[in-house]
């Protein structure tokens, strides 16, 4: 899927692109049907909500689930980012966020690159998210909220919030959020919230400031996020477990466009369980490790 000149200009201005209903109901169903079994697993890669058994985030399903291994190589998700960066990509992070009915907690205001920079030592913001809705997203089930154009501010100051939710996040303070929203239009477009049917896709810049509220509705809001990074921009530290921040910088090879509905063999290296190596971490950056060796 090639982006048009108009889409490229819109992305540069707003920091995101929204493609309602890009994947068909049949394609989306192959993914949705696989989620309950993944969420039922008692593995470290399933992070549950604070004080609840509901899954907040499932990590790295592309390494042990065939449908999601195909999605990780889908040209509709990978090719636009490859075109924007002009180079091959690797999978920095793969997650299925489960904003479950009545139980899905907030995601505080943040930039994704803030976490990748501070925790993983990713050199620059040459990485971004591509998300697909597995459920219909409406105004009531905790949709994503973006501050249009906030990516043009670059990397902003953030603090490491370890207490608000079950997942630590580098968050942006309320004063700066207020400034960014006013600059983007205040009550007239300073915050946008794309909603649409299951199968819709969002592509957004890693410095775009975003958040989501809790889900108090009776409708789930499950979405898949591919965090794609330019190979030349790979992380320089393995502070987080491998199931969260990946260490295989092999360029992604796309499958055919019909891959979700047809047979295509994919490698599933973790299908028999999470390897012990995926839990090993270190605070030492690559360059210091080499000098010590």
Instruction: Find the CATH number of the domain harbouring 21.
Output: 2.60.120.620
Query: What count of other Cβ atoms lies within 10 Å of the Cβ of residue 254?
Result: 16
Q: For residues 282, 54, 102 and 189, what is the CA-based torsion angle, rounded to 10 degrees?
A: 30
Which two tokens mark 94?
């793969």
Q: How far apart are CA 66 and CA 266, in angstroms?
A: 7
Q: What is the pTM of this model?
A: 0.93
For the beta carbon of residue 216, count every other beta carbon within 10 angstroms. 12
What pLDDT is recorded for position 203?
97
pLDDT confidence of residue 160: 81
Q: What are 91's strand-pairing partners?
A: 228
pLDDT band at 289 (very low <50, low <70, confident <90, very high): low
**Residue-range definition of the domain harbouring residue 224:** 5-292
Q: What is the pLDDT of residues 184-219, one digit of tens each?
A: 999 999 999 999 999 999 999 999 999 999 999 999
DSSP class of 198: T
The answer to whether residues 243 and 44 touch, using CB atoms and an 8 Å cutoff, is yes
Checking if the pLDDT of 293 tops 50, the result is: no
CB within 8 Å of 256: residues ≥ 6 apart: 75, 262, 264
The model's pLDDT over 246-282, given as tens digits with 9 standing for 90+, comes to 999 999 999 999 999 999 999 999 999 999 999 999 9
291 has pLDDT over 60: no
Count up the domains in the chain and report the number. Answer: 1
Q: Is the pLDDT of residue 97 over 80?
A: yes
Q: How would DSSP label each residue in 15-55?
A: SEEEETT-S-HHHHHHHHTTHHHHHT--STTEEEPTTSSSE
Where does the pLDDT of residue 165 fall: very low under 50, low under 70, confident under 90, or very high at 90 and above? confident
137 φ, ψ (degrees, to nearest 5): -110, 125
Round to whole Å and give the CA distance between 233 and 235. 7
- Average pLDDT in the 106-119 region? 90
């Amino acid at each position: 899927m090639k982006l048009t000149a108009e889409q490229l200009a819109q992305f540069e201005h707003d920091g995101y692109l929204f493609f309602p209903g890009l994947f068909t109901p049949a394609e989306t169903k192959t993914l949705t049907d696989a989620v309950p079994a993944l969420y039922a697993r008692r593995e470290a890669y399933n992070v549950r909500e604070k004080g609840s058994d509901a899954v907040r985030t499932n990590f790295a399903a592309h390494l042990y689930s065939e449908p999601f291994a195909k999605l990780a190589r889908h040209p509709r998700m990978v090719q636009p980012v490859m075109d924007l960066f002009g180079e091959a990509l690797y999978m920095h992070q793969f997650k299925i966020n489960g904003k479950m009915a009545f139980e899905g907690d907030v995601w505080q205001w943040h930039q994704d690159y803030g976490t990748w920079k501070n925790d993983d030592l990713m050199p620059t913001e040459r990485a971004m998210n591509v998300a697909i809705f597995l459920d219909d997203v409406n105004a009531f089930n905790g949709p994503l909220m973006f501050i249009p154009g906030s990516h043009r501010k670059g990397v902003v100051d953030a603090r490491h919030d370890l207490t608000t939710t079950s997942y630590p996040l580098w968050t942006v303070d309320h004063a700066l959020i207020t400034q960014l929203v006013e600059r983007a239009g205040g009550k007239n477009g300073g915050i946008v919230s794309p909603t649409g049917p299951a199968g819709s896709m969002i592509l957004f810049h890693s410095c775009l400031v975003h958040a989501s509220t809790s889900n108090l509705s009776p409708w789930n809001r499950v979405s898949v996020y591919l965090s794609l990074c330019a190979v030349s921009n790979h992380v320089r530290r393995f502070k987080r477990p491998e199931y969260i921040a990946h260490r295989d910088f092999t360029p992604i090879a796309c499958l055919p466009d019909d891959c979700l509905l047809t047979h295509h063999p994919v490698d599933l290296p973790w299908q028999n369980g999470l390897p012990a190596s995926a839990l090993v971490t270190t605070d030492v950056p690559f360059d210091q490790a080499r000098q010590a060796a």
